[in-house]
């Protein structure tokens, strides 16, 4: 009756936690669930490799959960907190680019990421939104559009384009980078997301500036 349970592995359960967190970010309008989802997204791949349970099913499931947690959730929150015709359009652009990025990832088999990975895209958009919610002042309008919304919208499109670009990003970051990222993630959960902001910007620029990753 439910043969599907025979193909679900331990790492798939962790992937399911990822999508639950993404959905909670949407339902409770809280960016922090996205940050925690990033941890679980990294964890499922790690555990699948360690337990030798890497599977096509797991890869499919992973992409499906990623589009929710790192595509729909940040796009939804951008529109939710900065409701506007412009953010409506640009949140859709971000989601479409993220989805195209994931579909391409599903068919490529290379040693590096092609285009900014969608969790990083979600992270940078989310952190920017949080910074704007905390610090932004009324900057007035340009051609009838609120300047804050305009900046965030441009960012969403820019991050979207970097995701579907051919810019190469390394697949497995080194340990020091991971530790710094972990600390900044924990800080962001208690409300200090400025460090995470710097990490995210650093990662995006790293891919753009470091063009010398070897082809596989």
Which stretch, 86-94, 147-155, 189-197, 204-212, contacts its own copies (CB under 8 A)?
A: 86-94
Residue for token pair 């995006």: 204
Stretch that binds its own copies, among 62-70, 143-151, 179-187, 191-199 (CB under 8 A): 62-70
- Site for its own copies, residues 14 to 33, rule: CB under 8 A: 16, 19-20, 23, 26-27
Looking at the Cβ atoms of 56 and 138, the one nearer to its own copies is 56
Bridge-based pairing of strands 145-146 and 168-170 is unpaired
Using CB under 8 A as the criterion, what x/- string covers residues 97-136 for binding its own copies?
--xx-xxx-xx-------x---------------------
Residue 76 interacts with its own copies (CB under 8 A): yes or no: yes
- What's the closest the beta carbon of residue 69 comes to its own copies, in angstroms? 10
Question: Measured between alpha carbons, how far is 64 from 175 in angstroms, rounded to an integer?
Answer: 28
Q: Which is nearer to its own copies, 60 or 141 (CB)?
A: 60
CB 26 within 8 A of CB 78: no
Choose between 163 and 199: whose C-beta lies nearer to its own copies. Answer: 163
Which residue in 43, 63, 170, 177 binds its own copies (CB under 8 A)?
63
DSSP 140: -
Return the residue of 37, 75, 77, 116 that touches its own copies, per CB under 8 A.
75
Binding of residue 152 to its own copies (CB under 8 A): no
Nearest to its own copies of 17, 196 (CB atom) = 17
Alpha-carbon gap, residue 151 to 125, rounded angstroms? 11
Neighbours of 70 (CB within 10 A): 31
Q: How far apart are CA 128 and CA 158, in angstroms?
A: 13
Name the phi and psi angles at 114, rounded to 5: -105, 115
CA-CA distances (angstroms) from residue 143 to 87, 105, 150, 180? 15, 38, 10, 41
Cβ partners under 8 Å of residue 16, min gap 6 = 61, 65
What is the binding site for its own copies (CB under 8 A)?
Answer: 1-4, 7-8, 16, 19-20, 23, 26-27, 56-57, 60-61, 63-65, 67-68, 71-72, 75-76, 79, 88, 91-92, 95-96, 99-100, 102-104, 106-107, 115, 161, 164-166
């Amino acid at each position: 009756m439910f043969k599907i349970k025979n193909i679900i592995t331990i790492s798939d359960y962790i992937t399911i936690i990822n999508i639950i967190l993404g959905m909670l970010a949407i339902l409770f309008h809280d960016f922090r669930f996205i940050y925690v989802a990033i941890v679980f997204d990294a964890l499922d791949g790690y555990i699948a490799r360690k337990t030798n349970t890497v599977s096509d099913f797991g890869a499919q499931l992973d992409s499906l959960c990623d589009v929710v947690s790192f595509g729909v959730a940040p796009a939804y929150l951008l529109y939710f907190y900065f409701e506007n015709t412009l953010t409506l359009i640009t949140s859709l652009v971000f989601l479409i680019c993220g989805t195209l990025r994931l579909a391409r990832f599903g068919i490529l088999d290379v040693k590096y990421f092609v285009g900014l990975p969608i969790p990083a895209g979600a992270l940078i958009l989310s952190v920017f939104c949080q910074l704007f919610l905390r610090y932004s002042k009324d900057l007035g309008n340009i051609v009838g559009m609120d300047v804050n919304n305009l900046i965030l919208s441009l960012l969403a499109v820019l991050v979207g384009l970097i995701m579907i670009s051919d810019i190469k990003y390394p697949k497995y970051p080194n340990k020091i980078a991971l530790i710094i990222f972990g600390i900044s993630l924990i800080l962001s959960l208690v409300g200090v997301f400025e460090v995470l902001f710097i990490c995210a910007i650093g990662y995006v620029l790293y891919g753009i500036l470091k063009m010398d990753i070897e082809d596989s």
